[in-house]
C-alpha cells in the first residue's frame, strides 16, 4: 500500500517567497562580502571547477592575498580552501568615507565530481588566482571497452 501526499501549491509558493525574501535581505541589508556571523569575515572566494579525462581543476579568485595565507585540504571528495587576511593597519586619526577592502577569515568547501589522488595534487598561485589540479583516481577515470563482433 502506498501513501499519497496531497500536493499543496501554497506550501511550495511560501518556500519560494521565503527564499526570495532571504535573497533580498542578504543583498540589501548586509554589507557586500560579509557573512558567517563575524564582523570582519568576508564571503567565500569565487570558484570555477572543471574536469578533463584525467584530472579535476579548481580555480579560486583570491585577489590581494598571499600564497602563504591560504590553506588547501582534500578530505574524501571535498576540497576546502581557507585562510585569513590580516588587517593591514589601524590608524585612529583617519576618517574613512568608504571602507570596502576585505579582511578576516575565509573558507570554501566544494564537493569534487569524482574521486581524486590528493597526494599528487598541485596548486599554483598567480595574479590572485589559485589553480588546484587534482589527478583523478584510477577508478574514476573513464574506461574504454572494446566491442567484439561475432
Total number of domains constituting the chain: 1
Cell of 131: 589553480
Give pLDDT tens digits for 23-69: 666 555 444 444 444 444 455 688 999 999 899 999 999 887 888 88
CB atoms within 10 A of CB 84: 15
Instruction: Report the pLDDT value the prediction gives residue 3, as an integer from 0 to 100.
Output: 64
Q: Looking at the whole model, is its pTM more than 0.85?
A: no
Give the pLDDT of residue 24: 64
Cα three-residue angle 8-10-14, rounded to 5 degrees? 130
Q: What is the CATH number of the domain that holds 53?
A: 2.60.40.790
Q: Which residue has the cell 583570491?
A: 62
**Which 8-state DSSP code applies to residue 72?**
E
The domain containing residue 75 runs over which residues?
33-88+102-140
Task: With a cut of 90, say whether residue 125 has pLDDT above it.
Answer: yes
Amino acid at each position: 500500500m502506498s501513501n499519497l501526499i496531497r500536493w499543496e501549491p501554497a506550501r511550495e509558493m511560501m518556500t519560494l517567497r521565503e527564499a526570495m525574501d532571504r535573497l533580498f535581505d542578504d543583498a540589501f541589508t548586509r554589507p557586500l562580502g560579509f557573512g558567517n556571523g563575524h564582523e570582519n569575515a568576508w564571503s567565500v572566494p569565487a570558484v570555477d571547477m572543471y574536469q578533463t579525462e584525467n584530472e579535476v581543476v579548481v580555480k579560486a579568485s583570491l585577489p590581494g592575498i598571499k600564497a602563504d595565507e591560504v590553506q588547501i585540504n582534500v578530505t574524501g571528495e571535498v576540497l576546502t580552501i581557507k585562510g585569513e587576511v590580516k588587517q593591514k593597519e589601524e590608524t585612529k586619526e583617519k576618517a574613512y568615507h568608504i571602507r570596502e577592502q576585505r579582511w578576516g577569515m575565509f573558507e570554501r568547501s566544494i564537493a569534487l565530481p569524482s574521486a581524486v589522488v590528493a597526494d599528487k595534487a598541485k596548486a599554483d598561485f598567480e595574479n590572485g588566482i589559485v589553480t588546484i589540479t587534482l589527478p583523478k583516481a584510477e577508478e574514476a577515470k573513464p574506461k574504454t571497452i572494446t566491442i567484439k563482433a561475432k
